[in-house]
Structure 1
Amino acid sequence: MSWENNEEINIFREYLRIPTVHPDVDYTSCVEFLKRQAKSLNLPVEVVYPAEKKPVVIITWLGSQPELSSIILNSHTDVVPVFPEKWTHEPFSADIDSEGRIFARGTQDMKSVGTQYLGAIRRLLASGFKPKRTVYVTFVPDEETGGVLGMKEFVKTDFYKQMNVGFSLDEGATSESDVHHLFFAERLRWALRLKFTGTSGHGSLLLPNTAGVKLSYVINKLTEFRNSQVEALEKDSTLSKGDVTTVNLTQLSGGVQSNVVPPHFEAIFDMRLAITLDLVVFEKQIRDWCDEAGGGIEVDFFTKEPYIGATKLDASNPYWLALKASFDELGLKVHPIVCPGATDSRYIRQKGTPAIGFSPIINTTMRIHDHDEFISADVYLRGIEVYQNIISKLSQV
């Protein structure tokens, strides 16, 4: 009952019950909810549409020195699809069980962070705190589909330019221990399509230069490289998943009948490239393998993110020093890592602005994008206290 009667928990649960779920997300109810939250804080709110039907909601807490560069507290409003039959609770019910666990899609990724920001600001306002730098709380769409119509477009707008952003805080990761994972960089996402052409004919013949033989050669080479990355992880305990390059065959098509050697095959690979990888050498190696296979292979990197420098975690970054001071004061264990996936922070860093990902979710079973996603009420409320300290220090830099 104490959790169910808690104002912050009720706000969070209301947010979770809005099904901003892919595909074809309708953000209308979400925008109205966030407008109500801004009104409850007595803070101005604006809605920008960098793409049609893709709203970015911006709540502004004006600083005492607004000429200084601002702080962004960012989160995304969309969530990934669900398979209701796999859940023990309705995925958008925000049920609380007897242990205080709140079940809903978005509890970990990442609606919790969005309303924790607001809860922290509510506490700071009540205490009479006044930030020196302007703080923007941004809620962006479509992060789960790559942010192409969300943050990627938003940073191109005049509105964003006028915000004069100096630092961005965004999502981190759920931790199953008492150590918080902090993202200071992200691997680059490349997607590769290979179209193999070769000799076709009857399946009983040993035809030369077939598309299948070429396909097999290149797949074997990419698999060998993949295995080298697995071995690197196994041999060096200091490495995390974000420190190596992943290559995965995700789609394969071609052929019409079992006894016909087809003239075409197509393979698609998902790649997440380590920031230490020499991109020019890696791409050349793939093209060389295609030549060694016999040629006649079309190479298409249809997604090819450019190199983006990591956010510095040293004395040259005053925002990092403020964050570290907060962590030390709160007694938090924090482990900086390269994000193994991708978040909207990469679009902020691409503009030359430092960005860090952090979520105060610890001692919690990882259920991001999984069934029965949950967060404990006490972990959620503790997160508000953590952000209260963080926001106060960041905004005074």
Structure 2
Amino acid sequence: MSPRSGGWRGGGALLCHTAGPFVPVPCWVAACPALRDSRELGGLLRTAPALQQHLPGIQRFHVVLPNFERRHGAFPGGCPLSWAGAPGVPLPGTMALSAVAWGDGDGTGRGRCLLGCPQGGREHRLEGGQHIWGRHARPINRSAPGSARLPERFFGLSGGHRAPGLGAERGRAEAQRRRQRGELCSPGMAPGKPGKSAGASEDPSVALFREYLRIDTVHPKPDYDAAIQFLERVGTDLGLASQKVEVCQGRVVLVLTWLGTNPCLRSILLNSHTDVVPVFEEHWTYPPFEAVKDSQGNIYARGAQDMKCISIQYLEAIRRLKAEGKCFARTIHLTFVPDEEVGGHKGMEMFVQRPEFRALNVGFALDEGLASPSDTFSVFYGEKSPWWIKVKCMGSPGHGSRFISNTAAEKMHKVITSFLAFRESEKQRLKSDTRLTLGDVTSLNLTMLEGGVSFNVVPSEMAAGFDIRIPPTVDLKAFEKQVASWCQAAGDGVTYEFHQKCMDQHITSTEESDPWWKAFSGVCRDLKLQLKLEIFPAATDSRYIRAAGHPAIGFSPMNRTPVLLHDHNEFLNEDVFLRGIDIYAHLLPALASVPLLPAEG
């Protein structure tokens, strides 16, 4: 690599065009220190599948980079891929190629290639060919006689090698315009097959989303440090102020802030969690932490719906607004919290009690919702109260061959019968009234059973665990009396204890007289979004925000999408994801421009 180019150094690969089709040059790819992180690596690698169509003989892609662990896999097209962290070491095999291409954004259709050098860094030319150096490479004249013809998508925009700042903003803006004109799209391929050219024309926002999905924040050992470093980097790129709050050992809340022109006003809080639930990889079509995108634009990964998509949509909406020169009266805070998937007890529950949270001066909050399989968008203004109850039954022990009276098992049978009879009544109520949703009825499930020491011994103690989710329309004190009566009816020695007992039943106003709801619903009307107001059937961190006295709406802009949170093959379509950015780019200005409230006067 020529040092004066300011581009790559060390060995690389040569891409040339001749009178015939593209040909792979036998070479190896050495250290490329100009690549700073995995996102830029992705910009390099995404082009190779598109080239594979024009290189039928290619056998493997090799990349050697410093500071990257050794990885092996395959491109969606099936060609093997490997990259490693040992710089300057030749890799086996003679069929290797690495290149990245992008359009120069001026609408002329000219293409540019970013390339390294062949073996030993020596310049190498093939007869009739041309090779190009550096980030400021000369355009390839694709119309010249004898030049290979590459499809237009090969010369799409790639954000991986653009420097941060204004250049990145222009690149994203151009990608957005081209996407709206329908110029950036994946080629048609068989359903369910990975798209071969998902990289060269990929929207930078999608690339950022997929990079975040590849960070393994799955329980029980989420890599929170990697997630925080990634989000901090994006926040710095956007010019957002950053604050880290350690709510307990090993649990950090990251706060990114876009300061408003009047910081005294109540702020807008955009909340999301960084952790994801465990996976059963044998049931997944694609690896759950590779963020594979298929030919239909579906991105498969744990967290695709719950809820890494929302985090990036927040950030990319702010990126767009800042690039447009917008500013608003109210400050916008983004919080990225840990441990939501395990109850939020070492995350948002502790954070709302701290002075750092109170200093955010929250007026209104947005948090996660659910996907919607229909045309409507679900909006959650409240949540069920989760109760986890353990019932213990004590009874007479004895030999398994006898009819022992007053056994723990007999009492447990009565308890379970009472609980499940109530479950069936609520199930039928939901089934018989089409106006009701799951959030309107009490769900109850038997989730644990304990007891017994041997097949021939009648146990003296048995226990059962129940997961109960109660809507805010239910009188919680009356419901607990009902639970007590079920246990009392089962006999003596039957007790219950709470492992979780949420008594908060705050809901957020959805009246048009409420200024926050008026701003939210007004944007949705303007965008012609059909809203369905619901009580969230499970629990999110919104309950802690509402309990702290702040209105909060659960909203995930994902309609026409199956609900797959916590499920196998969780995915989100890239078009749905990108439309979500558009929606937030309209919502945030409206919310951050809500007029002065009476309490702020």
Normalising by structure 2, we get a TM-score of 0.65
Q: Tell me the SS of whatever aligns to 1:239.
A: coil
Structure 2 distance, partners of 1:26, 1:270, is 29
Q: Report the AA paired with residue 279 of structure 1.
A: L
What corresponds to 2:207 in structure 1? 10
**Is the aligned partner of 1:59 residue 2:256?**
yes
Would the aligned equivalents of 2:504 and 2:543 in 1 still touch at CA under 8 Å? no
Distance 1:142 1:166 in 2: 24
Does 2:427 correspond to 1:230? yes
Report how far residue 177 of structure 1 moved. Answer: 1.2
Q: Which of 508, 519, 538 is equivalent to 1:322?
A: 519
Which structure: greater helix fraction? 1
Q: Does 1:247 align with 2:466?
A: no
**Which of residues 244, 266, 272 in structure 1 aligns to 2:469?**
272
User: Which among 279, 290, 305 is matched to residue 93 of structure 1?
Assistant: 290
Structure 1 unaligned residues grouped into runs of 5+: none
**1: distance between equivalents of 2:455 and 2:229?**
56
Matched, 1:72 2:233: no
Q: Which one-letter code corresponds to 1:298 in the other structure?
A: T
Q: 1:292 Cα shift?
A: 1.7
* Stretch deviating more after TM superposition (225-234 or 364-373): 364-373
Correspondence for 1:300:
497
In 1, Cα distance between equivalents of 2:560 and 2:345? 32
Query: Which amino acid in 2 is paired with 1:59?
Result: L
Bigger fraction of residues in strand: 1
Moved more, 291-300 or 376-385: 291-300
| Match in the other structure for 2:226 | 29
Number of residues of Structure 1 aligned to a counterpart in Structure 2: 397
Taking the aligned partners of 1:290 and 1:90, their CA distance within structure 2 comes to 46
Q: Please report how far the alpha carbon of residue 156 of structure 1 lies from its aligned counterpart in structure 2 after TM superposition.
A: 0.8
1:41-190 superposed matches below 5 A: 41-190=238-387
Code of the residue aligned with 1:228 in structure 2: it is: S
Q: Deviations over 1:20-59 (max 9, x none)?
A: 1111212111111111101111111111111111111111
Stretch moving more, 333-342 or 257-266: 257-266
Whichever residue aligns with residue 246 of structure 1, its letter is S
Aligned pairs for 1:335-350 within 5 A: 335-350=532-547
Secondary structure in structure 2 of the residue aligned to 1:163: coil
* Matched residue type, 1:314: E
Q: Deviations over 1:98-124 (max 9, x none)?
A: 111111111111000000001101111
Report the AA paired with residue 209 of structure 1. N
Aligned-pair identity (%): 47
DSSP-derived class of the 1:352 partner: coil
Deviation at 1:255, TM superposition (A): 1.0
What's the CA shift for 1:322? 0.4
| Structure 1 counterpart SS, 2:429 | helix
Tell me the residue number matched to 1:387: 584
Indicate the structure whose relative CO is greater, using CA pairs within 8 Å and at least 6 residues apart. Answer: 1
**Is 1:219–2:406 an aligned residue pair?**
no
1:310 maps to which residue? Answer: 507
CA distance in 1, matches of 2:467, 2:529: 35
Query: Radius of gyration: which is bigger?
Result: 2
Superposition RMSD in Å: 1.1
Name the residue aligned to 1:206. Answer: 403
Q: CA deviation at 1:326?
A: 0.6
Distance 1:317 1:203 in 2: 65
Structure 1 residue 167: deviation in Å?
0.8
- In structure 2, how many angstroms separate the alpha carbons of the residues matched to 1:29 and 1:257? 47
Aligned to 1:352: 549
> Does the residue aligned with 2:269 lie in a helix, a strand or coil?
strand
Q: Structure 1 stretches (4+) deviating beyond 4 angstroms?
A: none
Counterpart residue type for residue 77 of structure 1: T
Aligned residue for 1:361, secondary structure, equals coil
2:486 match: secondary structure: helix
